[in-house]
Structure 1
């Protein structure tokens, strides 16, 4: 599913893009009449493709394009053809002149998909794990996980700035799901992400974005020694 965002202060123009995306297929499109809300969404979700109007009541799309996240595929939509050169100067993949007809939209999407697919082929696949949460199956990006804590027959998966997940799985099973070079078992009740570690002593590990500390169990001294070695190597 290709993630797309369309920003235009004309609702009719957005409805046309929405219909064309539905016709093209396999597109998850979010529409915004507010440039501020649209840009905020883009900067937090990193869509694959952005459809952006140029002349809006309060904002100029050329200026906004310079604030897009790196590697965002940009397609301008505007009624003013004189902006075409400006559009390509900010690395827009295409320029759709209103009123936009479907064949022209389709050609722009084909160009955009070539770029999106090329970028995906050069991007490392993100590691994910699958957990049962209540009655749902949830796919979790391991980059989002700071630590896992045992809770009787369940585990608590903590992710900063995101909801905590509770899943019925053993710590041993949980440990087997993680990449061994990125997570470490430091206590019978705790697994921590190496990327989330801020500082540590021989008995405590402090994590980024958390006030609490993670205890290091006595039976996990080997894990701590490995942790110390890893961080000493990274300091070199």
Structure 2
């Protein structure tokens, strides 16, 4: 795997690179003292991992990650734990707090390596196949498994993966992101309600401006999706008090 590291603290940058140099099969393609230089390098090269300090002048590590059209795996490093929620909101692999023990850094790289190897083994185009009018297939080990639309309750994003929750309580995992799933599933059956969830329209038992209810399951509706969800699900079907 390859990585780019950016940190405005030259001493900590050197220490982290010394630690990373101990990890086999890991190559540094660039080291930067700020996020602006890192972004310029990323216009022509895309490493497998970005290792980013968060608090850097002019452009923070989180702002850098959000500005990229194509985001590699990201590991954030910060002196403060209070940025963790923002970091994981963009599907960071890990969030490390300085000073980072070598064993903690090794665990973070292992997470990235596991995901990297899985991506190499399973092409994304094979992970999800939209076949027929009432079902789709996902790659499960060495076979394709059919899932009927009617069996799906909702789908949840796990970054580059999705979890498909079925009505019988089972859960299936596929190597495909939620955006690609949304493009391949029929819009007359499924609707995206947030950055994290797609639901089967007919499984919605109740809803308001902020949540949908799938029997006992309650999922939040993203602010940018609220108007579309309410209009699409209810439309003109609401019984009015007065005509």
TM-score (norm 2): 0.48
TM-score (norm 1): 0.49
